[in-house]
Amino acid sequence: MVNNRRILLIIGGGIAAYKCLELIRRLRERGNRVRVVMTKAAQQFVTPLSVSALTNERVFTDLFDLDDEREIGHIRLSREADVVVVAPATADLMAKMALGLANDLASAVLLASDKAPVIAPAMNPRMWQNPATQRNVTQLKADGATFVGPETGEMAEAGEAGPGRLAEVPELIAAIERTTTAPASALTPGPLAGRHVVITSGPTHEPIDPVRYIANRSSGKQGHAIAEAAVKAGARVTLISGPVNIADPDGATCVHVETAAQMLAAVEAALPADIAIFCAAVADWRVANRGGQKIKKQKGAEVPRLELVPNPDILATIASLSKGRPGLVIGFAAETENILGHAQAKLRNKGCDWIVANDVSADSGIAGGVMGGDRNSVHLIKADGHQSWPEMGKDEVARALVEQMANSLGEDRRSSKRKPSATGKAGAK
Ligand code: C5P
């Protein structure tokens, strides 16, 4: 429960603004005081009167309203809040925030605020995906903002679907609660505080020519979830991701790559690390005779033959480092049969400390499948045995794995036999 917090809600102009009425009710039910600033456009979607009735407060709408300014003023409005929430955050409002513009009450309050806001975007998917919006999102994250959503789905406009829906009210409340409760690391250090965790995630794309590539179905959801869980556990996290359609996790340093070779270079550049987790579905081969120009389809000409050469095995390369090997190296194994047997062999062959094995077969029993889906059923294989976990969400797998990582480092610290450090353990395998 947030309870007794002073929440300043900035409502932007979008069809999703109606959800704010429900948000206000739920926040007030929890004993919070909610003050609201509405942009001019927001007032086209919900009226200040209904917002005022639900907040039991006056609603602030105008930068140049002398009465408002005399009574409270835009500086005090932002300072007298424990948390500032922008929902729905339109592309326009986010652009203003990213640039530091202050030409209406909402943007002036945000600029005058001394708190990093919680931002819940909602807009047409094309506006969300526009590079300009994505640049602004990156900037706002770098400035410390917490993002919740947008969710993917049908839009209010007929026939439009994609990322851009305002997060649901429970998600908004959870994000607000997380922000208003000081992060674990600020109060008691998280179990991975002071640790550097490097994670690979997603697929790689191996170019055939400048327009075509070889890829796979990895979504990056599991790797990104581990990054998020490690951040929450207080770690410094470097996430190296292949091309994915999901957002960068808050609080992690994200490096975006395309090919296996780039991924290996990024991992090497990110070391030293205490823990390295190789979750990415790295392409096993790349095209040797890659064209500099688009391969043309010509009538009567021979069908092009692709010559493949092996990609570097990033996990095996890092696990076999004699200098600077991370203290704990974890690999993943996606198998379709004899899961435990193959995974145990992989643990030995790759020289890693743990393997997280999952069943990616069509008959895994997981609705929608593991690859691309939100659920997973894994076995955690270590040198001295294995655990089989029940089916759970990828975020739960991530949390459970992070807990095991923290315990393992704790045991190391206690026994001082295997001492993980920023320089790693030399020749551990
Ligand atoms: O050999 P296989 O692809 O099944 O091994 C899977 C594990 O190895 C995963 O942890 C994956 O991230 C890692 N891997 C890698 N580089 C490769 C191939 C796999 O890091 N080229």
Residue range 231-273, pLDDT digits in tens: 999 999 999 999 999 999 888 899 999 999 999 999 999 999 9
CB of residue 311 inside a 6 A radius of ligand 1: yes
Pocket test for ligand 1, best of 332, 335, 370 (most atoms within 8 A of CB): 332
Of 142, 159, 181, the domain-final residue: 181
pLDDT of residue 344: 94
- Assigned domain for 429 exists: no
Sole residue written with tokens 């979830």: 225
Whether 218 and 123 share a structural domain: no
pLDDT of residue 72: 60
Residue minimizing CA distance to atom 6 of ligand 1: 333
Q: Measure 283 CA to ligand 1 centroid, in angstroms.
A: 8
Q: Measure 384 CA to ligand 1 centroid, in angstroms.
A: 22
pLDDT (mean) for 217-238: 94
pLDDT of residue 7: 93
Whether 223 and 293 share a structural domain: yes
Using N-to-C axis directions, what is the helix angle for 105-112 and 91-99, rounded to 10°?
40
**Which of 112-121, 335-344, 366-375 is predicted with the least confidence, judged by mean pLDDT?**
366-375
Task: Tell me which H or E stretch contains 245.
Answer: none
186 contacts: CB under 8 Å, gap ≥ 6: none
Whether 201 and 345 share a structural domain: yes
Whether 208 and 177 share a structural domain: no
- Per-residue pLDDT at 67 exceeds 70: no
CB of residue 260 inside a 6 A radius of ligand 1: yes
Of 161, 181, 201, the domain-final residue: 181
Give CA–CA dist 86/124, Å, rounded. Answer: 17
Whether 328 and 198 share a structural domain: yes
Phi, psi of 340 (to 5 degrees): -65, -45
pLDDT of residue 219: 93
- Give me the percent of the chain exceeding a pLDDT of 90: 65
pLDDT of residue 88: 97
Whether 110 and 204 share a structural domain: no
The minimum-distance atom of ligand 1 relative to the CA of 315 is: 20
Q: Taking Cα atoms as reference points, which of 13, 26, 68, 352 lies closest to residue 175?
A: 26
Q: Measure 350 CA to ligand 1 centroid, in angstroms.
A: 9
CB of residue 282 inside a 6 A radius of ligand 1: yes
Whether 17 and 130 share a structural domain: yes
- Assigned domain for 70 exists: yes
Q: Taking Cα atoms as reference points, which of 184, 210, 187 lies closest to residue 290?
A: 210
Determine the 3-state secondary structure of 177 from DSSP.
Answer: helix
pLDDT of residue 1: 44
The minimum-distance atom of ligand 1 relative to the CA of 355 is: 10
The mean predicted confidence, pLDDT, of the chain is 87
The minimum-distance atom of ligand 1 relative to the CA of 352 is: 10
Phi, psi of 386 (to 5 degrees): -145, 160
The minimum-distance atom of ligand 1 relative to the CA of 331 is: 10
Give CA–CA dist 136/147, Å, rounded. Answer: 12
Q: Measure 313 CA to ligand 1 centroid, in angstroms.
A: 6
Give CA–CA dist 180/203, Å, rounded. Answer: 35
* Alpha helices, DSSP H, located in 61-209: 66-71, 73-79, 91-99, 105-112, 125-129, 131-142, 169-180, 184-187
Which of 265-279, 373-387, 410-424 has maximum average pLDDT? 265-279
Q: Measure 306 CA to ligand 1 centroid, in angstroms.
A: 22
> What global pTM score does this model have?
0.59
pLDDT of residue 420: 42
397 contacts: CB under 8 Å, gap ≥ 6: 222, 225, 356, 376, 378, 389
**Which of 321-330, 379-388, 409-418 is predicted with the least confidence, judged by mean pLDDT?**
409-418
Whether 73 and 118 share a structural domain: yes
| Reported confidence tier of residue 49, pLDDT bands at 50, 70, 90 | very high
Whether 270 and 383 share a structural domain: yes
* Alpha helices, DSSP H, located in 143-203: 169-180, 184-187
Q: Measure 172 CA to ligand 1 centroid, in angstroms.
A: 36
pLDDT of residue 183: 42
The minimum-distance atom of ligand 1 relative to the CA of 311 is: 21
Pocket test for ligand 1, best of 257, 267, 315, 370 (most atoms within 8 A of CB): 315
- Assigned domain for 109 exists: yes
Q: What is the dihedral of CA 411, 417, 421, 425, to 10 degrees?
A: -130
Whether 72 and 172 share a structural domain: yes
pLDDT, tens digit (0-9, with 9 covering 90-100), for 113-135: 888 899 999 999 999 999 999 99
Domain around 214: 187-415
Per the structure, how many domains does the chain have? 2
- Assigned domain for 1 exists: no
Give CA–CA dist 136/96, Å, rounded. Answer: 9
Residues tagged active-site: 216
- Assigned domain for 427 exists: no
